[in-house]
Amino acid sequence: MSKFKESLQTFGKECLAFISSPVVLKNLGVMLSIFTVMLVVTVFSLRSCTRHGESLEVPDFSKMKVTDAIKKAKSNNFNIALIDSIDPGSVTPPTPGIVFNQVPAPLSRVKKNRTIYLTVTKMTRDKVILPSTIGVDEYEPYEKKLRRLGLKSEIKERVLNERYDANTILYFLIGDKKITFEDIKRGVEVEKGTLISFVITERGDNYVSIPNLTCSQFERAEFLIQGYQLVLGNVQTDETVTDRASAFVYKQVPAFDATQKIRIGQQIELYLTQSRPIDCPSEEELDPFGN
C-alpha cells in the first residue's frame, strides 16, 4: 500500500513538472489564443449573418397600387411577393391591382430584406355578357338585370316618341359607342363595373308648352307656372323692386317659344323689375301663349 502511495505521488510530481514546463505552458498559451480568436470571429460572423438585434418596421401597403407598393418596399429594404389576385366580394368591382392584404402585418418589426407577401385585387376585372332584351325592353327591369351582374347604368337621354310606351329602351351607349338590340343578340362582352348609358322614350303627355310670362306681374306668373304643372325656380329682383308681388317679369328662363315644349315639373326662373317694362301690353291683353 505504501509502495502504491509512493508511486502515485511520484506520478503526480512528474505530471506537475510536465505541465509547468516552459514548452507546455507556451503551447497551452498558443492554443488558448487560437481558441479565443476563433470564438471572436464566430460571434461576429453570426452577428453579421443574422443582423442580431437589428429590425425594421413594416410599412402599411394597404390600398396602394402594386407598382407603388413595390417601389416603397425596395426603398425600405424589403422584398415583395404577390399572392394570387382576389375579388374581395364587394358589390362595386374594386379598382384593379390594389393591395388588399399583407403579411407580415403593417407596423410589425422584421429583419432587413424580409419578403412581404401582398394580396391584391384582380389586375383585370371579370367580364360578363349583356343580358338579352327579349321581353325586357323597359329601362327599370333591364337596369335591375345589369345591377345583378355588377354593371352600372344611367339614362343619357329621353327622346319624345309617341310610338312606344314611356321608358322604352331605344339603344345603349358604352362610352361613345352605340349598342343596338342586334348587337345584344350577337353578344356584347363588358367588364364588371362598366357604365351602360341608355336612350329611352318619353311620351308627349309628359310635356307642356312654355308659357309666356314676360310683362306679367309676379303673382300672375306664379299662378300660371303652377297651372302648367311647372315649378318656380330662382327669382331674381333688380334694385328697383320694393314689392315682389306687384313687380313685373322682364325675363324668363327658359324663354318663351311657341314651337317648344318642356317636361312637366321643370323649373322656370324669373327676373323682376318694379315698373312695367316698355312696350308691354296691359294685364288684360296678356296671352300666356304669346298670341
- Across the chain, the runs of DSSP E, i.e. the strands, are 56-57, 79-86, 99-103, 109-110, 115-121, 127-129, 152-160, 169-174, 177-179, 189-191, 195-202, 207-209, 231-237, 248-253, 261-263, 267-273
What letter represents residue 152's amino acid? K
Look at the chain and count its residues: 291
Residue with cell 404577390: 82
CB 138 within 8 A of CB 168: yes
What's phi and psi for 79, nearest 5 deg?
-100, 155
Instruction: For the chain, 291 residues long, give each residue's pLDDT as a single digit of tens.
Output: 566 566 656 655 666 665 566 665 666 666 776 767 676 666 556 555 544 456 788 889 888 888 898 898 888 888 888 876 666 545 455 677 888 888 888 888 888 888 888 888 877 777 899 998 888 889 999 999 999 998 999 999 888 777 888 889 999 999 889 998 999 999 999 988 889 999 998 876 778 888 999 999 999 999 999 988 899 999 999 999 999 999 999 999 999 988 888 888 899 999 999 999 888 877 656 665 554
Could you give the count of Cα atoms lying within 13 Å of 272 in the half-sphere of its Cβ?
Answer: 24
Which pLDDT belongs to residue 243? 94
Which grid coordinates are listed for 209?
Answer: 308648352
Burial track 166-177 (b if 16+ CB lie within 10 A, e otherwise): ebbbbbbbeeee
- Beta-carbon contacts of residue 74 (< 8 Å; ≥ 6 apart): 80
Which pLDDT belongs to residue 91? 46
Q: What is the pTM of this model?
A: 0.44
What distance in Å separates the CA atoms of residue 170 and residue 167, rounded to the nearest whole number? 9
